[in-house]
Structure 1
Amino acid sequence: MATMGVYRIQTDTLTEVEQNRLDLKLLQTKVEFEREAKISSDIISLLLEGETLVNFTRYVGQDIREYLVTQRLDFLINDVLGDQKIRVLLTVFDGDGEPIYHYERSNNPFSSIPSYLPGFARSLMLKEVAESQKLMFLKDGRHAYLFGKAVDRNTFISPVRPSMKDSIAIVATVYMESFDQMFSDLKMDYGKSPLIVNRTAEVSFNDSPLLRKVNLFPGFDLEMELTPQYLRQERTYLIDWMIAVAVVLGAGITVLLLLLIKRYIISPIENLDHQLTLVMEEQQSNIKKPVGADEVSRLGSKFYQLYEQLQENLRESHNLAVTDALTKLPNRTRFQDFAKRALIRAWNRHSHVSLIYIDLDNFKFVNDRLGHEAGDELLKHAARLFQDLLQSDQHRNNSSLVSRLAGDEFAIVLAHENLDERVTLASNLVALFKGGLKTERYLTPVSASVGVASYPNDGEDLRELIANADMAMYHAKRTGKNRFAAYSHTIAREARRVKLIEDALKFVNSDEEFSLMFMPFVDADHKIKGLEVLLRWYSPELGQITPDEFVPIAEQTGSYPKIDDWVFRNAFSQLSTLQQFLGENVIIAINISAGELGQAAFADRIIKLKQEFNVPDRSVELEITETFGYFAVDQVLSVLRDLRDAGFSISIDDFGIGYTPLLQMIDYPVDKVKFDKELVDRLTSDNYHPLMQPTVELCHIQSIKVTAEGVENEEKFSLLKSAGCDYFQGYAIAQPMTLSELRKWHIEYLGKDQ
């Protein structure tokens, strides 16, 4: 295709080249013509400049002198011609047109004066011009050039008026051998004979682009036309040459391209394919990075970058998969992998591995009261504390890992030789939360319940160790929080009992197994003002189950609404009976589950029960454990206000052991607070006795009544009375009783009072 394109372009160029070449040959022929023709003029000029011709004409007819002059003429002519082998004729004619001198330089000893010379000489002497030239076409295709000059025979200059009587004609004839040879060569080269055309200015002719010409001398042009056959022959030669070149170049280019393709495409692609195969077979992590600038190298670089990015994404994904997004600690997946490897090493080395479970107590309180931002900050701060503790000198060299399992639950894997190390670490963990946990912006009432289980004593595999550590952690939480517990058979028994209680709650027959107890509270004058309603549960399978056991389990399992409904129904149904023998102003105080305060449906349900049993307003007091502050404050306040507007009184139970600041109670719709027994014991001691009265007065300022629990003797009663407490409850007054026991106690109490 390239050759055909070149051929199309070169066809016109070839014609132009051939035209220029012909022009050059014609010009060269002209130059040769002029060179040979100039010999004629040079001979005549030489003769006219010297005395030789003068002497010749003077001594015509004198044989000796004529001979000498003739020899002199021959010498001059040969001197002009030199050694050139050119046939030259020099002829001098008198006024009658008769030759008076003839000289011929040729190889023919019998040559004679050509027939055309006398006529040329006579015409020369008769013309207006003094000199003339003529090209003669000879029979054998040769050419002869004639140059003649007419001069006065006396002065030897051109005559003013030509006259044959007073003139002589000198004619030099040159046979154009070199010109004829070149003329013949043109014919041979182009297959057509050139033409010498006698043209005049008046004659017009068709000037074809293929007709080339040069002017030999005035009136005579040498013409040569490029024939279509000649051009076709040249184009055929061009085609043949170009095809041959195209074939050679095509073959060479094909071989070169194959080598280049092999070198720069196939080989790099094969190498890239090999590298990718190694990567896919995981024999190497990435391909070797190409260093070239070609397309395959750039493609390889892209693959290299792609695999680098994939590996980076894989590492990041793996890190995200095994890392907690908030605390940046390992998550449960990483924890389990690490623990399994640690157990294998411990089995080989006959060492110990301990799982330490950590649960943050009161974390929900922080989230609900201070917001999730504070909760997140707390978790991140706790994570840093755990990491710093593990990196301390005591544990730096141990194989350990702290991770966040979920929510506020953390776990530590500790590989160690001495079992005492787990106790030291657990103690230090609990110590981190002494007095709450302070972050950069918050002081939070958060503690930690820690459970510990160790291989091989407490379990042979990870599943068993996790279950036992979790069991120990819940034991620590149930027994007071902010402490640690190591797994033991006792804890296992307690856990089994918890499980049994949990299962029993699902199928409990409330009417047969539940019962109500009543514990009176009095005012400063020992008048009975109300009764705290207490729930007791006796299971046929498990025996007596205390509220401290089943209430937390019921709240956690969500079965408390059923218990609450049974308590309220029975308490409301017995209220009128209680008021009949205790007085119509006697109230009952019922504990409600803190877990239900966040549900608006709870208030609706209790209000409907109150209406169902026609319970008078302010005759029922709802006691809420101080930990109600752990729940969503807005929702809790809304529920409490709805209950208070419906005729219920609100009391905070066990005040003093939670985290509700006294001044914050101004925000709550609270009618009464009940000082916990522990707080009462502390305020009635010698060290804290001065704080008792200001604490009570602070409640009174907010129009909040105060009930003191744990009144065990008259001395405490007197101290609390003098401090201004409104109500008193404790074993010094009465213990929890059934309804029938309450009737008997009331009769006896009235007798004592009287």
Structure 2
Amino acid sequence: MTLDKRALALIFPVILSGYVLAASLIYFVQGSSVLGLERARLWQQMGLLTAVFQNEVTQNRSLIYSLVEGNAVRLFVNETDASYRSNALGARLQQSITSLSDEKQKFVSVAIIRPPLSVDYYYENSDDPFAELTPQQLKHARAVIESPRLSSWTYLDVDGIEPLIVHSEFIDPLTFNRPLPTAKQSAILVQTAVRPAPFLEMKQTLEKEYGARLEISRHPLLAQGALSATAKLSPSLFARLTPRPDFLDQRLGTLKTLLALGAIALSLCSIGLVLFLLRRYITEPIARLDRRLTDVMNGSLSALPDMGEAGEIGRLSANVKRLHDNSLRSFDLVRNASWTDTLTGISNREHFNIRSTQIIAEAEAQGAGCTLLFIDVDNFKFVNDKHGHKVGDELLKTLAARIAAIVERTVTARGLPEGLFARLSGDEFAIMLRSQPGNGTIAEVSDAILALFAEGFEVLDKAYPVTASIGIAVYPDDARTLPELLANADAAMYQAKSCGKNGSARYSRSLHEKRNRQRRIEEELRVLDPDREFRLVYMPIVDGRGKVTGCEALLRWESPSLGRVTPDEFIPIAETTGLFSKIDWWVIDRAMAESGQLRKLFGPEMILCINISSAELYTRSISDHFCECAERHGVDPRTIEIELTETFAVKLGEQLRRNIDVLRARGFRISIDDFGAGYTSVQQIIEYPAETIKLDRALVESLTVAAALPTLRALIALCHAQDMSVIAEGVDTTEKMGLLAAAGCDFYQGYLITPPLSLDDVGVWAMQRLVEKAREAAQTPERRARA
């Protein structure tokens, strides 16, 4: 039906009916309409309130199911080490809870409870770090445990706490499925609670608007009066709102005056004039505009033409055209901005992921290949921190421009499809080329990029000591999906970095096997029993007369599935995965437990040296663990020396320095290990608070030559000037021993003395030394007599 016919069919009956019925019926019709409108509006509000409440219930249910199905709760429940579970896994579980919450400010609490009523874990995202499970929630948990149900939720609105939606779920600690009813007492109860803030805010708004309290009951409620509404919040929770009696009276007061004015207005209208004007100035221009818009939406027209109309319809046409044109331009601008890195102007990670996926799909369809180059700028953080973010940003922008020029020049010269160059994050870049190794393209691009750093990277007329490490992965030889290609190129990049930086490396089978071994080491670390697989060996430290003054405890791991795993392999993995606490705490406890046997062999003043992970000092609990172990095993803290690496000592911040000060205040000694293995200055190390400095074996190797004796003597003298004893590692020849002694070294450690030995072998070695000394003592008088 056209607009003209619709106008005639609607306006004529309305005007005619208005003349006849305006005076007699309009008041009653309007009064009933107001009542019906308010009733419908009230029911709509109650329906919306129900939807808001059910949404909160659904979010809470999703939260508990996500936690139960996740790995964090499983690790927490199955961990037998209470300290490790409380520190590392508790923090990890807290991170899982936080990541599952859509609104960071919304109150969420999670409790893990063992029947009959033992709370193993509780967390809530409140400002109170010592928050505990409320008595009301605990009472509800007791009711759930005593009931036959395995899953339950409730709207907890009791005195003393704000209303909460509480969801409880029993899980079997072995299968992490819902347990059998008969095994309920051995199951774990996971209880989550959220504060339904949107529901409570809407409830308060409705109560204020209608001047009545919203009733919530666990029994069905019936509407009371003409203007009353009920809602079924859940199968077992009902709500009712009955506005105050005078609510409608205020809205009907002015209706009578408006009715009189409306009747007069209707009598002044002429049906013919209305129809003429409506058609002339409204319906026909709107119809033309509708046809043009339809053509644009169907694609018949690329742009909306100028309608040439005057008045509101003309402005409407012009505004619609302007809106359409602006929308197209804005879409292009937003799309380009969302795909561009704001600093360098090249593609960002999002555009790289989209376009790389398309490139891989095109290569697969054509039976061709493509190559990913993953570029990391070495030492960029050093430049950024030392010279400022302005220099760092300029370095990245300059580097992006130069690499983009290299890529464009290479693909143009070789006639290849357009390459993709993007900044993934920070100082990481990626290049995707429709080319495979073998034709020289990848080597040309890699060599050109590395050449940018040959003499230092020049920015703002100054060269900075940065280099590049490039990892190369090829589709489909190395990976068949973009995530796998990125992961393999990243692994190859780290391989290039480990080979000396400013180089490139292709992903290989050996690298794949190395990654698999690292993954298996991580898996074994999570489940191993330290008492069965770990053991300690000891490497004695002697003074210039050969007396044993200390022993260094060294960790060894014999895995049933992996065989012997060196500390160089598993320590970095343990630190990056948060498993170092489990290892360090076992080492500390076992070393102190065996220290008594060592002191029986070498005397009560023997120093026991214990290496701990650098990352361990970020927690204050390590000092408490040292003191607790020392007290339990009856060890004097003054005979325990904690060894820290030189690199970590220099990077120590104020908080970590305070943790070190706490350990020293409790009597423990501090030693700087591997001095000379890093790039730190002598002044920084000497100023660091420690009792001992251990010279790294590489430094000992380079300085134990006659030409370097003055340097060695000066270095040791500098340490002595700071009241630090010096221990030389890697002493494996008498020549090294002699030069170190000539330079004034205090103590020695190395294979010339003995390799690392088990506790039993240390005893045998000590007895052999006693026998040798006794034999030498017996032979000395005889030699003198002969002389």
TM-score of the superposed pair, with normalisation by structure 1: 0.58
Q: 1:451 to 1:392 in 2, by over 3 A?
A: closer
* Structure 1 counterpart of 2:410: 395
Post-superposition shift, 1:625?
A: 2.3
Q: 1:384 to 1:439 in 2, by over 3 A?
A: closer
Quote the Cα distance in structure 2 between the aligned partners of 1:524 and 1:443. Answer: 48
- Indicate which of 653, 661, 685 corresponds to 1:633: 653
- Indicate which of 654, 662, 670 corresponds to 1:650: 670
Q: 1:276 to 1:564 in 2, by over 3 A?
A: farther
* Structure 2 counterpart of 1:333: 350
* Structure 1 counterpart of 2:493: 473
- Indicate which of 564, 580, 585 corresponds to 1:565: 585
CA-to-partner distance for each residue in 1:456-508, whole Å, 9 max, x for gaps?
32233334323322333344456676654311111111111111111111110
Code of the residue aligned with 1:340 in structure 2: it is: T
* Structure 2 counterpart of 1:516: 536
Quote the Cα distance in structure 2 between the aligned partners of 1:599 and 1:486. Answer: 39
Q: 1:457 to 1:606 in 2, by over 3 A?
A: same
CA-to-partner distance for each residue in 1:539-578, whole Å, 9 max, x for gaps?
1111111111111111111111000111000001111211
CA-to-partner distance for each residue in 1:700-744, whole Å, 9 max, x for gaps?
443333333222322223333333433332222321111111122
Post-superposition shift, 1:377?
A: 6.0
Q: How does 1:525-564 map to 2 (within 5 A)?
A: 525-564=545-584
> Are the aligned partners of 2:650 and 2:684 in contact in 1 as well (CA < 8 Å)?
no
Quote the Cα distance in structure 1 between the aligned partners of 2:459 and 2:340. Answer: 22
SS at match of 1:402: strand
- Indicate which of 428, 433, 440 corresponds to 1:414: 433
Code of the residue aligned with 1:669 in structure 2: it is: P
Q: 1:413 to 1:676 in 2, by over 3 A?
A: farther
* Structure 2 counterpart of 1:718: 738
SS at match of 2:764: helix
Q: How does 1:184-199 map to 2 (within 5 A)?
A: none
SS at match of 1:703: coil
Q: How does 1:330-479 map to 2 (within 5 A)?
A: 330-347=347-364, 352-359=369-376, 370=385, 374=388, 378=392, 381-382=395-396, 384-392=398-406, 395=410, 397=412, 399-406=418-425, 409-419=428-438, 420-423=440-443, 425-426=445-446, 449-476=469-496
Worse-matched range after superposition: 551-560 or 251-260: 251-260
> Are the aligned partners of 1:355 and 1:452 in contact in 2 as well (CA < 8 Å)?
yes
* Structure 1 counterpart of 2:514: 494
Code of the residue aligned with 1:634 in structure 2: it is: E
* Structure 1 counterpart of 2:255: none
* Structure 1 counterpart of 2:640: 620
Q: 1:594 to 1:306 in 2, by over 3 A?
A: farther
Post-superposition shift, 1:521?
A: 2.5
> Are the aligned partners of 1:433 and 1:448 in contact in 2 as well (CA < 8 Å)?
yes
Counting aligned pairs with the same residue, the percent is 37
Quote the Cα distance in structure 2 between the aligned partners of 1:291 and 1:698. Answer: 92
The answer to whether structure 1 residue 322 and structure 2 residue 339 are counterparts is yes
> Are the aligned partners of 1:588 and 1:619 in contact in 2 as well (CA < 8 Å)?
yes
* Structure 2 counterpart of 1:55: none
SS at match of 2:588: helix
Q: 1:591 to 1:345 in 2, by over 3 A?
A: same
SS at match of 2:638: coil
> Are the aligned partners of 1:438 and 1:444 in contact in 2 as well (CA < 8 Å)?
yes
Quote the Cα distance in structure 1 between the aligned partners of 2:655 and 2:289. Answer: 65
Worse-matched range after superposition: 502-511 or 708-717: 708-717
How well do the aligned residues superpose, as a CA RMSD in angstroms?
4.0
Code of the residue aligned with 2:352 in structure 1: it is: F
The answer to whether structure 1 residue 595 and structure 2 residue 615 are counterparts is yes
SS at match of 1:343: helix
* Structure 2 counterpart of 1:12: none
Post-superposition shift, 1:413?
A: 1.8
Code of the residue aligned with 1:413 in structure 2: it is: M
Q: How does 1:72-111 map to 2 (within 5 A)?
A: none
Post-superposition shift, 1:624?
A: 1.8
SS at match of 2:690: coil
Q: 1:452 to 1:560 in 2, by over 3 A?
A: same
SS at match of 1:611: helix
> Are the aligned partners of 1:364 and 1:630 in contact in 2 as well (CA < 8 Å)?
no
Quote the Cα distance in structure 1 between the aligned partners of 2:298 and 2:581. Answer: 60
Post-superposition shift, 1:698?
A: 3.7
> Are the aligned partners of 1:522 and 1:530 in contact in 2 as well (CA < 8 Å)?
yes
SS at match of 1:416: coil
Q: 1:568 to 1:334 in 2, by over 3 A?
A: same
- Indicate which of 273, 280, 299 corresponds to 2:316: 299
Q: 1:272 to 1:741 in 2, by over 3 A?
A: farther
SS at match of 1:740: helix
Q: 1:566 to 1:355 in 2, by over 3 A?
A: same
CA-to-partner distance for each residue in 1:3-53, whole Å, 9 max, x for gaps?
xxxxxxxxxxxxxxxxxxxxxxxxxxxxxxxxxxxxxxxxxxxxxxxxxxx
Post-superposition shift, 1:293?
A: 7.4
> Are the aligned partners of 1:352 and 1:418 in contact in 2 as well (CA < 8 Å)?
no
Q: 1:588 to 1:360 in 2, by over 3 A?
A: farther
CA-to-partner distance for each residue in 1:238-279, whole Å, 9 max, x for gaps?
xxxxxxxxxxxx9999999679637xx844x45544454455
Q: 1:711 to 1:541 in 2, by over 3 A?
A: same
Quote the Cα distance in structure 1 between the aligned partners of 2:676 and 2:602. Answer: 30
Q: 1:474 to 1:641 in 2, by over 3 A?
A: same
The answer to whether structure 1 residue 734 and structure 2 residue 742 are counterparts is no
Quote the Cα distance in structure 1 between the aligned partners of 2:293 and 2:718. Answer: 79
> Are the aligned partners of 1:672 and 1:706 in contact in 2 as well (CA < 8 Å)?
yes
Quote the Cα distance in structure 1 between the aligned partners of 2:757 and 2:280. Answer: 105
TM-score of the superposed pair, with normalisation by structure 2: 0.55
Quote the Cα distance in structure 2 between the aligned partners of 1:402 and 1:336. Answer: 11
* Structure 2 counterpart of 1:675: 695
Quote the Cα distance in structure 1 between the aligned partners of 2:622 and 2:455. Answer: 35
CA-to-partner distance for each residue in 1:661-710, whole Å, 9 max, x for gaps?
33223553233332322333333468866543444344344333333322
> Are the aligned partners of 2:371 and 2:436 in contact in 1 as well (CA < 8 Å)?
no
Q: 1:301 to 1:716 in 2, by over 3 A?
A: farther
Post-superposition shift, 1:334?
A: 1.6
Q: 1:493 to 1:668 in 2, by over 3 A?
A: same
Q: 1:695 to 1:361 in 2, by over 3 A?
A: farther
Q: 1:654 to 1:431 in 2, by over 3 A?
A: farther
CA-to-partner distance for each residue in 1:174-200, whole Å, 9 max, x for gaps?
xxxxxxxxxxxxxxxxxxxxxxxxxxx
Post-superposition shift, 1:581?
A: 0.8
Q: 1:403 to 1:492 in 2, by over 3 A?
A: same
> Are the aligned partners of 1:520 and 1:734 in contact in 2 as well (CA < 8 Å)?
yes
Worse-matched range after superposition: 271-280 or 658-667: 271-280
SS at match of 1:391: helix
Quote the Cα distance in structure 2 between the aligned partners of 1:454 and 1:570. Answer: 48
Post-superposition shift, 1:339?
A: 1.7
Worse-matched range after superposition: 353-362 or 617-626: 353-362
Tell which structure's C-alpha radius of gyration is larger: 1
Code of the residue aligned with 1:395 in structure 2: it is: T
Quote the Cα distance in structure 2 between the aligned partners of 1:523 and 1:443. Answer: 48
Worse-matched range after superposition: 645-654 or 252-261: 252-261
Quote the Cα distance in structure 1 between the aligned partners of 2:390 and 2:301. Answer: 41
Quote the Cα distance in structure 2 between the aligned partners of 1:446 and 1:614. Answer: 51
- Show structure 1 runs of 5+ residues with no match: 1-249
- Equivalenced residue count is 499
The answer to whether structure 1 residue 584 and structure 2 residue 604 are counterparts is yes
Post-superposition shift, 1:587?
A: 1.1
